[in-house]
Amino acid sequence: MVVFLLTLAASLAALAGGYAALRSRHWLNLALALTAGLVLGLVTFDLLPEIFKITQATGLDTVLPMIAMTAGFLLFHLLEKLVPLHEDTEEEYGPHRHPVLGTARAAALSGHSFLDGLSIGVAFQVNSSVGATVALAVIAHRFADGFDTTVFMVFHRSKLAHIRRWLSVVILMPVAGGLASLGFDFSEKALAIYLGFFAGFILYIAASNLLPQAHSQRHPRQAISLTILGTVFMFIVTRFV
């Protein structure tokens, strides 16, 4: 039930982001800056310590989850090169506007959304603390994903009805991923490897997508402050809550 409720919250966050994209985009960079800090704190203060704890307890070679982490980072990098996974400026994409690009972006995000929900469910198999912090980071960046997808599709001249259909898919996929996780019973070693993969792919999101967009727009000082605040918040949550 907890996994379902949290993946539902992640879905609603994407819906809120999509709605906000149709209304205003002036403060998106501040939301992205905070999200980047949350993701960085999640990886460094929660996922990596948990991975090392599991490897020590099970005798698993720490190289394996680190390979998975590298694979997650590089896989998302490859996907980003094959399919536009975030909005670019009009000057860069102006001559290439086409609804197909918006659809491709939404389809790629749908798969990403399923993985988000799956990650929440898998994280709860480790313990409730890891599950809660992973869910927090996922929910935070789901808002940015819903916003970004909608903006991208609008920019590439997708029809409003088409945008709503794809946004509905993006919204439902985290719940599907969370429910799918209930069908898996990972061993502790498999959990460590999966957490490594998840850490790699969300670290890539923070480094290549969230931070550049957050700090290249307005309010640079506030953006930096929110990134630091997000990181400190995750440290406090993972250490003392």
What is the Cα–Cα distance from 79 to 204, expressed in whole angstroms?
Answer: 11
Q: Is the pLDDT of residue 211 over 70?
A: yes
Residue 55: pLDDT over 90: yes
* pLDDT(164) > 70: yes
Mean pLDDT for the stretch of residues 20-42: 72
* pLDDT the model gives residue 37: 83
**Encoding tokens for residue 220?**
């640079």
pLDDT in the model for residue 88: 47
Q: How many CA atoms lie within 13 A of 141 on its CB side?
A: 32
Which range (113-127, 133-147, 224-238) has the least confidence?
133-147
Distance CA 213, CA 181 (A): 32
Tokens 């819906």 correspond to: 15
pLDDT at 6: 86
Are 208 and 79 spatial neighbours (Cβ–Cβ below 8 Å)? no
Local structure of residue 86 (DSSP, 8 states):
S
Asked if residue 133 lies in contact with residue 202, where contact means CB atoms within 8 angstroms, the answer is: no
Average pLDDT over residues 175-199: 85
Mean pLDDT, residues 157-183: 78
State residue 22's pLDDT score.
64
Q: Give the model's confidence band at 216: pLDDT under 50 very low, under 70 low, under 90 confident, else very high.
A: low
Nearest to 137 by CA among 230, 29, 18, 23: 230
pLDDT higher than 70, residue 133: yes
pTM: 0.67
> Residue 183, SS3?
coil
Residue 18 has pLDDT above 80, yes or no: no
Q: What is the mean pLDDT of the chain?
A: 76
HEC secondary structure over the chain: CHHHHHHHHHHHHHHHHHHHHCCCCCCHHHHHHHHHHHHHHHHHHHHHHHHHHHHHHHCCCCHHHHHHHHHHHHHHHHHHHHCCCCCCCHHHHHHHCCHHHHHHHHHHHHHHHHHHHHHHHHHHHHCHHHHHHHHHHHHHHHHHHHHHHHHHHHHCCCCHHHHHHHHHHHHHHHHHHHHHHCCCCCCHHHHHHHHHHHHHHHHHHHHHHHHHHHHCCCCHHHHHHHHHHHHHHHHHHHHHC
| pLDDT value of residue 89 | 43
Directed axis angle between helix 128-155 and helix 188-205, to 10°?
40
Sign (positive or negative) of CA dihedral 205, 211, 216, 219: positive
What pLDDT digit, counting tens, does each position of 79-103 carry? 767 755 444 444 443 444 555 555 6
124 has a pLDDT exceeding 50: yes
